[in-house]
Structure 1
Amino acid sequence: MLIKGYDDGPLVAGESMLARPGFWSNHLMATCGTGTGTERPVPEWFGDDGADTDAVAEILFDPESWPVFRIPAAEGPGAVVVYRNLVGDYGIDYLLTHPGRTHAQQVAGWEGGFTGTGLTWHELVRMADSPDPAADGVEDSAARLLLALPLLDDLDVPETGPARVSAALIAAGAPQDTAPNTAKKLLTHLMGRPRHDRTWDSPLSGS
């Protein structure tokens, strides 16, 4: 696989992994925060178990094969999530794709913590709800939202935000009785991260 603007690693399409038990706990558990005691995030929050999570991790974090998850948008910028499996330098890179541009733009990364510039809630939802059926990648809006959720960098998430994330989690296989609490944990952690500089502009603004 080739992504113009991103020349590192043996990239492979990863979208088929989304339906595997264990994927979402791998992708989102760290976004819930570390927690303490009974509040420590566990795979069961996402409808997974430890064995499934470990099995998917062996594929997801394989240095010989870096999974790529594409979120193309019919209107406005889309995103690409790359599991950068360099030995000794593991991380997740977040790229944006822009209409009319041939190269992707890396805007953020995750290496034990989030760095870079993220998206507002409005931008995140717009991207999730604007699939491009003519392009290769993820079309399901719930999966698109959850894939890009770690990019959220917004203190002004609307009151409907937790319900939207909870519904996406349930659609992805999370238990209905615990999904609302998991959604709140995710958003609380994301909104509690160090904020960007006051002069920051969204990467979707063209800056």
Structure 2
Amino acid sequence: MVITGYGDGPTVVGEALVGRAGFWGCHLLGLCEDGACDERAEPAWFGGDGADADALAEVLFDPERWPVFRVPVEGAAPGGGVAVVYRNLDGDGGVEYRRTGGVTGAVTGAVTGGATGGGTGDVRLSWGELVAVADGPGGGGDGVSDRDERFLLLLPCLRGTWEEAVARERVVAALVAVGAPEDTVERAAGHLLGHLERRAVNEPGWKSPLSGR
């Protein structure tokens, strides 16, 4: 498949991997790379176990095949929305969030406008924008259609400020919906939001999420 910015790179459709045990541990633990954890997160917090996550990591981070997870957006041209790309370059790997196709309409403005920045093509979404994109009906094309999966796929794009209680409730509900165990889900949600807040502190114009602004 062709993704803007990758030319003939080895990108492949990856949506079938979302339902496999260990996927969310691999995807969401990427937020923990800042090394600021008070407690080390475990793959089992997000469903599956360490063995599941290790097995799936071999597929997700294969340098010969870069999985792409498409999140279609309402109002986009065919194939339009956000592409979550596992850029498995040797020595320069990472996960990128790229705009695809043409988009119109208020709900999708963040995907095409100032919410995209930096040299990596990262999509940055406010809390309201993240919820609107995740809960929207999508563009009717191929890609991830489940609202909880869409929300968690794009959660690392969250920027700005948010209301702590509202965000925690939504993250907990989404994690439970994709199979996270209920006895550790509150810990997992707090861990993810803590990393997102620490990242937000270093961005211009930051205000505490407790402000609700």
Higher relative strand content: 1
AA matched with 1:42 = E
Q: Distance in 1 between matches of 2:119 and 2:181?
A: 29
Q: How many residues align?
A: 190
AA matched with 2:95 = I
AA matched with 2:82 = A
Question: Match for residue 43 of structure 2?
Answer: 43
Question: Match for residue 187 of structure 2?
Answer: 181
Q: Distance in 2 between matches of 1:166 and 1:27?
A: 16
Residues 147-171 of structure 1 deviation map (CA, whole Å, 9 limit, x = unaligned) = 0000101223353111101110011
Query: Do the aligned partners of 2:70 and 2:84 also contact (CA within 8 Å) in 1?
Result: yes
Q: Distance in 1 between matches of 2:123 and 2:67?
A: 22
Q: Secondary structure at the match of 2:44?
A: helix
* 1:99 and 2:103 are equivalent in the alignment: yes
* 1:138 and 2:141 are equivalent in the alignment: no
Shift of 1:63: 0.5
Q: Distance in 2 between matches of 1:152 and 1:51?
A: 29
State the percentage of identical aligned residues. Answer: 48
Q: 2:87 aligns with which of 80, 84, 99?
A: 84
Structure 2 unaligned runs (5+)?
105-110, 206-213
Q: Which contiguous aligned blocks of 4+ residues in structure 1 show a shift greater than 6 angstroms?
A: none
Q: Distance in 2 between matches of 1:134 and 1:17?
A: 20
Query: Do the aligned partners of 2:74 and 2:138 also contact (CA within 8 Å) in 1?
Result: yes
Question: Kindly tell me: are residues 48 and 109 of structure 1, through their superposed partners in 2, closer, same or farther at Cα, counting changes over 3 Å?
Answer: farther
For normalisation by structure 1, the TM-score amounts to 0.81
Shift of 1:6: 3.8
Question: Match for residue 154 of structure 1?
Answer: 160
Structure 1 unaligned runs (5+)?
199-207
Of stretches 67-76 and 85-94 in structure 1, the one that deviates more from structure 2 is 67-76
Of stretches 188-197 and 170-179 in structure 1, the one that deviates more from structure 2 is 188-197
Query: Do the aligned partners of 2:81 and 2:99 also contact (CA within 8 Å) in 1?
Result: yes
Q: Distance in 1 between matches of 2:203 and 2:180?
A: 31
Query: Do the aligned partners of 2:43 and 2:50 also contact (CA within 8 Å) in 1?
Result: yes
Let me know the Cα RMSD of the aligned residues. 2.6
For normalisation by structure 2, the TM-score amounts to 0.79
